[in-house]
Structure 1
Amino acid sequence: MKKENIIKSYDMAKEMYKGIGVDTEEVIKKLNDIPISIHCWQGDDVSGFENSEGDLTGGIQSTGNYMGKARTPEELRGDLEKAFSLIPGKKRLNLHAIYLETDGEKIERNEIEPKHFKKWVEWAKKNDIGLDFNPTLFSHEYADDGMTLSHPDKKIRDFWIEHVKRCRKISEYFGKELGTPCVNNIWIPDGFKDITVDKLGPRKRLEESLDEILEEKMDPKYHLDAVESKLFGIGSESYVVGSHEFYMGYAMKNKTVLCLDAGHFHPTEVISNKISAISLFVSDILLHVSRPVRWDSDHVIVLDEELQEIAKEIIRNKLLDRVHIGLDFFDASINRIASWSIGTRNMLKALLIALLEPTTTLAEAERGFDFTTRLAMLEELKSYPWQAVWDYFCENNGYPVGLEWLDEVRDYENNVLINRK
């Protein structure tokens, strides 16, 4: 689209939104300052760089074999840079512990140190982004029983406790080096496939493990602890130790961040409806925005109703300073850089639509029990020209407008990805 047409369409949209009390210039400024934590594992199908060829286990599954999977840290960073060049706004990168770099040395997970992530920090500084982190408690011989921090064998529990402790140190290192708090998110695959007799015992062990892990206090200026629940997983269909109720209670009691993953609840539940309630009892919320299709399948997020509701709950309730937005999908059936671009741009679009809403006017109508005005305005807003504001936002910040980004992905695929076997 020609620049003059983008500006012309934007000017018309600006006047329309002004008519309902929305300043599009202020909206664009706000959108530009909202950080989105983009997950590294979309680029290599959650393989990591541990010098191991093991299959994914612990309820983790990536489907598809599209060409061009990143095989080295350098390739992954190059792919991320390409994706970042197509995505406007403020970006962060979310790393898992298996993305360490050891120069070929075998390092066990209970031995990892900040030095194994030095190159990631150097890269983050060069690209002016923050880093978030995750211990990796899956795809390991000590997770083969489907139990880690709640395992009945103390030796195995201690192994994973030490791993997570070291991950907290790495997270703190990221925060100190980059000047922005690193969110270190703990998710475990623990659970049982079939009828479970002792549901309390594993939860007691998990609580004890977490208490030991979090015993050392760290400055929230550099590091934040988050815990993440799940309804079920492959191999834990009947019972998951770290349920929503467990972690919600733990987060409130121990003042940690609570992570809500869009795919980790019953198919009739949505995380958008949980944000406001949980915000009353925990200081910070971490979101893993994904798209479940019948189960926790981590499809690339689309601009559907739930994504828009998630964004609206954040914006309407003024929670931008307390909600950390992270993405969590991994689709290997399509171009991986396109996956990042589609998903992250959709998250930003949802936030833009939410920012363009005249929330004060709508809330006043609701408080006055004027449900007629509320419904009429909400419906009319659906046809307001947010797309013109989005195009201007992209153009004004030097990012591709419309499907222009797809042409760049195809060029990158034909010149770079095609050479990877």
Structure 2
Amino acid sequence: MNVERYQSAKKLYATLGVDTDAAIETLKNIPISIHCWQGDDVTGFDHEGPLTGGIQATGNYPGKATNVQELMKDLDKAISLMPGKKKLNLHASYAVFEEGEHVDRDKLEPKHFQKWVDFAKERSMGIDFNPTFFSHDKVKDGLTLSSPDDKTRKFWIEHGKACIRISQYMAKETGVPCIMNIWTGDGYKDIPADRMGPRLRYKDSIEQILSEPYDKNLVKPCVESKVFGIGVEAYTVGSSEFTLSFAATHDGCLPLMDNGHYHPTEFVSDKIPSLLCFFPEIALHITRPVRWDSDHVVLFDDETKEMAKEIVRCNGLERVYMALDFFDASINRIAAWTIGFRSWQKALLNALCTPNVLFTEMQNQERLTELMMMQEELKTFPLGDIWAQYCNESGVCPDAGWFEEIKKYEEEVLNNR
């Protein structure tokens, strides 16, 4: 029956010039980076204190990963329920130390991530990487790379340089370029007396980090903006204007947009084509902001669909690095990973099954009434049948049946932690 339904859906899409077989084959080869921090509420392994620095995971669902073995096991379970190509996205705070060893973040080495590299290589995955500029006692008065304290800045600059070296190691070992994202929660709770000074220090700090030698074919450094955070509500050093300007004026540095890091009336889907006019490559952190950067699990909602559409119709699949970024501690964490990953893949499939050439032709010929009508008609096309075919070809459950695996894993593994 599934085969018959797919053939029927395939014929219907073909009336609009859409080749669903080609869409499925394309989707199979689009890498999506899975963030490790959903599995343990962004806790990491290099400190025992609370999560601080403008980030907060809410909820207390049982069974979170408490060590690298548990986190890898949970990732494996989630990956088994996801169709398509994956990368692994790590934060520096997930360094793995030998028993009795502890190295501060400015002294991290590639060897502290060897277990993650082995994990990725065994699963034919590349790795993306993030310096961790939060949850540390050297975050001085809420500042890191923009701090007026020279010792504080020096520590975090050295951390960034160490992460450049680690990123290159990861790329060499996996054979896949590493996207290394620089984001800090630096800012002020109330109105600052000086807005420019912290940004000049931040600029200088990132330039010092990027002075560390690296192969630009292997390491893709990014700068990520944020509109505000917990405890930095009035002023954020790394604003959108700052990071875009920095990336535009520093060769090889990419802008990274997190769609939770903007004002509620801004849409990253509209920003994607603007940036692709000027940047050879860009990066995305894909989340779901409900009130602000609340990092809710990605759903198959309107803005998620629009972001995927813009990537596809701008011919950006080879130019946009896509990574998920959410952390919900109120629901089963493995289900959260799976729902978010599958939702973004559905959005990409929806975009690949959109007759973009036909719709662009209608727009350029000013057949705008017809365009609106066809865009609405497409919303009730049987995308679910195309999705089912894609999942079947990828060897994963196409429907809600995958959740039975989650319930079994929760009962047998998570509830015993």
Query: Corresponding residue for 2:407?
Result: 410
- The Cα of 1:283 is off from its aligned counterpart by 2.0
Count residues in correspondence: 415
Pick aligned residue for 1:252 from 245, 248, 267 = 248
By how many angstroms is 1:232 displaced? 0.4
The residue that corresponds to 2:94 in the other structure is 99
From 322, 325, 329, give the equivalent of 2:322.
325
Report what 2:72 is aligned to: 77
Aligned with 2:233: secondary structure? coil
2:348 to 351, 371, 375: 351
Is the contact made by 2:223 and 2:256 (CA closer than 8 Å) also made in structure 1? yes
Match of 1:37 in 2: 33
1:12-91 to structure 2, matched below 5 A, reads 12-50=8-46, 52-91=47-86
Contact 2:140 2:147 in 1 (8 A): no
Distance across 1 between alignment mates of 2:71 and 2:4: 39
Q: CA deviation at 1:147?
A: 0.4
Deviation at 1:336, TM superposition (A): 0.3
Aligned position for 1:141: 137
Cα offsets for 1:272-317 (capped at 9, x unmatched): 1101111122221111111111111100011110000000000010
The whole-number CA distance in structure 2 between the counterparts of 1:72 and 1:165 is 26
Secondary structure of the structure 2 residue equivalent to 1:260: strand
Shift of 1:221: 2.2
Matches for 1:212-251 after TM superposition, within 5 Å: 212-251=208-247
Q: Does 1:204 align with 2:200?
A: yes
In structure 2, give the amino acid aligned to 1:200.
M
In the TM superposition, residue 144 of structure 1 has moved relative to its aligned partner by: 4.2
Separation in 1 of the partners of 2:296 and 2:212? Answer: 37
1:304 aligns with 2:304: no
Secondary structure of residue in 2 paired with 1:141: coil
1:368 matched to 2:365: yes
Amino acid at match of 2:285: H
Distance 2:350 2:92 in 1: 35
What is the TM-score when the length of structure 1 is the normalising length?
A: 0.98
Deviation at 1:217, TM superposition (A): 4.1
CA deviation profile, 1:117-175 (whole Å, cap 9, x unmatched): 00111110111111000000001111141100000001000000000000011001010
CA contact (8 A) 1:175 1:221 kept: no
Q: Give me the whole-angstrom Cα distance separating, in 2, the residues matched to 1:371 and 1:295.
A: 34
Moved more, 213-222 or 285-294: 213-222
Mapped to 2, the partners of 1:28 and 1:233 lie a distance apart of 39
Alignment partner of 1:142: what SS? coil
Q: How far apart, in 2, do the equivalents of 1:10 and 1:223 lie?
A: 41
Amino acid at match of 1:116: H
Offset of residue 219 of structure 1: 1.8
Supply the RMSD in Å over aligned alpha carbons.
0.8
Q: Which residue of 2 aligns with 1:122?
A: 118
Unaligned runs of 5+ in 1: none
SS of the residue corresponding to residue 133 of structure 2 reads coil
Name the aligned partner's letter for residue 166 of structure 1: A
Separation in structure 2 between the aligned mates of residue 127 and residue 77 of structure 1, nearest angstrom? 12
The runs of 5 or more residues in structure 2 that have no matched partner are none
Contact kept, 8 Å, 2:164 with 2:212, in 1: the verdict is no
> Partners of 2:171 and 2:409 in 1: how far apart?
32
- Is 1:108 aligned to residue 104 of structure 2? yes
